[in-house]
Chain A
Amino acid sequence: GQQVMQIPQYQHVQEGEDFTTYCNSSTTLSNIQWYKQRPGGHPVFLIQLVKSGEVKKQKRLTFQFGEAKKNSSLHITATQTTDVGTYFCAGKSNFGNEKLTFGTGTRLTIIP
């Protein structure tokens, strides 16, 4: 079945440093979504990417979808303590099925 891997599993950064997490799917995706989950919380939707090579920005966050629609990345510039949490990518494999296959997640901690 479809698998979605993320690296790194954990990332500790000094406040103000940049952070990047990478997502790779074993199969081509129709779209990819990114979620953030705070400790003890539930996944909160950040963004959806649909087109091959698409790049979207949200303030300090930059999201990319690979040309082959099998990989994606999330980059945070100048991290802040509010960025703490686990970042998950989640892919849909085709247009018919709405289920999401979540990645393994990257847990970000910030050293003040």
Chain B
Amino acid sequence: GAGVSQSPRYKVAKRGQDVALRCDPISGHVSLFWYQQALGQGPEFLTYFQNEAQLDKSGLPSDRFFAERPEGSVSTLKIQRTQQEDSAVYLCASSFLRGTQYFGPGTRLTVL
């Protein structure tokens, strides 16, 4: 079956631009997670949803970061007024409730 998909795979933005990153979880997975992975580092938690409810957003680095999952399936991570320090790979993962997290290929964001 299909795994987690993310789009776009690569995004180049000029500093100050807004970006939107999409995640399509595995069908039937209740939980959806966003992580940020800087070069040479481990993934760092940003936020997670159970169905459409955002249960934890403690990892979002600033109020420029916003995530939504309005129908409990596809999720979008939006970054407003991008800064150079936002450059990273953004990973999405999904799971059954309290199950194994399966990761998508990530979106590599480069802010110039």
Contacts and interface: CB of A to CB of B under 8 A. Distances in A.
- Among A42, A48, A95, A100, the most chain B Cβ lie within 10 Å of the Cβ of A42
B106 A42 contact: yes
Interface string A15-40: 00000000000000000010100000
Given A43-B43, A43-B91, A88-B42, A99 B104 contact: no
B93 to A, nearest CB: 8
A97 B56 contact: yes
Interface in B35-84: 35, 41-45, 48, 50, 55-56, 59
Contact of B41 (A44, A90, A95, A104): A104
Contacts of A100: 33, 35, 43, 45, 101
Interface residues of B, number: 23
Contact of B42 (A44, A97, A102): A102
Interface of A is mostly: loop
A104 B56 contact: no
A99 B56 contact: yes
A73 interface: no
B31 interface: yes
B97 to A, nearest CB: 8
Nearest to A47: B100
Contacts of A43: 43, 91, 103
A85 interface: no
Contacts of B104: 42
Contacts of A44: 103
B42 A104 contact: yes
Contacts of B98: 95, 98
Given A42-B105, A102-B35, 8 more contacts: A33-B101, A35-B103, A90-B42, A98-B33, A99-B56, A100-B43, A102-B42, A105-B41
